[in-house]
Structure 1
Amino acid sequence: MSAAKTTGMRQRILIIDDEPQIHRFLGPALDAAGYEPLRADSGQEGLRGIALWSPDAVVLDLGLPDMDGKAVLEKARAFYEGPIVILSARDREAEKIQALDLGANDYVEKPFGVGELLARLRVALRQRGQAQGPLAPIRAGAVEIDLEKHLVIRDGAVVKVSPREYEVLARLAQARGKVLTHKDLLTAVWGPAHAQDTQYLRVFVGQLRQKLEADPSTPTMILTEPGIGYRFIGD
């Protein structure tokens, strides 16, 4: 599993495919089109990549070496809401219908033209953007979370946070005061295999408090709901 170097705020596309030649020509094509290509060579790598990178869209092959692509799709939909475009040599109508019923946004048959795949990705990303609308920054005292640019700002200065720290913070902030359970956060950020690993979450929340709270020992922004989860208090 590998990621290209991030340049600016390019949209990230995760390619889950075990064929090296697919990555060899599709990665540069996505890069040339202005996207940041990410790579996973198996279903398990793909699920970890979705949880780790929160890509803007996923291109998923159905014929993977460790698990069926439809199983990857079903597991991903438990915690990922972005566009998933199926890429597969299977051309049976029943396969397409099943993939779409499981939550795929589109289906492209192999062999395929890069231009067609890019066009379908643009449509899926545009539809997601129209459904979401522009994301307004969320503020809590001296802290601002810019959801469009994936930035955290405190007292006018950008705070360096890891991708996982950002995902935890953004999900809490977007809940607008609602309590998010440990399981909800762990599944969304780390994936369903880590739904019980509350220690992960405790560590990351502690790190966020150190970076953002005026007094980390007495937090006023990220509050603990004992035995349940966490709540974000904004302005």
Structure 2
Amino acid sequence: MSNTGTAATASLVDECRGVLFVYSDGSIVRLPKPSFSVPVHDDGSVVWKDVVFDPVHDLSLRLYKPALPVSTKLPIFYYIHGGGFCIGSRTWPNCQNYCFKLASELQAVIISPDYRLAPENRLPAAIEDGYMAVKWLQAQAVANEPDTWLTEVADFGKVFISGDSAGGNIAHNLAVRLKAGSLELAPVRVKGYILLAPFFGGTVRKKSEAEGPREAFLNLELID
């Protein structure tokens, strides 16, 4: 739990999905686990570990790969979690289950990074963190003593970057920044981007925002 003030003496101003609470004195309480209960489906076919990619901001990513030995190098697939830039984590069970499935069915190395969340960290902090997570991969590709857990199986020439919701927005911004061919990441080469229901907001409401039902999971009140 994070607490940037004395929330006990202040009134609740806003909350998000029973995880994030903002109080009138500016304090913020953030619970470490989601409000929903989802079991983790780890059948042993995929192995994983956590790695710090940004020690300055204490940010980690989670690596996944098939447990059985492979005869060829595997493509690398980034999955950036969603959560409206406010909630979510690589450690949440829904994220972990999705990455297990990706690693197993795609036969790929999966990289799932965390990023700094709002309101403690305003944009473009999350986008910069996504960029740093990709630069970490480049550093591994050229390092004299890389993490062999990754480099022995990963094909740095076949990288794909995906994300859902806010993560899709980060993936979009990475595509704009890195441009076609991702030359600045050499020898890492991004082959494509997959945006899963990407979250984009603006000052003018879209029709789907203005007319969306209140009972929807992502209703107008939550988006605002």
Structure with greater proportional strand content: 2
| Bigger relative contact order, structure 1 or 2 (CA pairs below 8 A, ≥6 apart) | 2
The TM-score with structure 1 as length reference comes to 0.29
User: What's the TM-score once normalised by structure 2's chain length?
Assistant: 0.30
The structure with the largest helix share of the pair is: 1
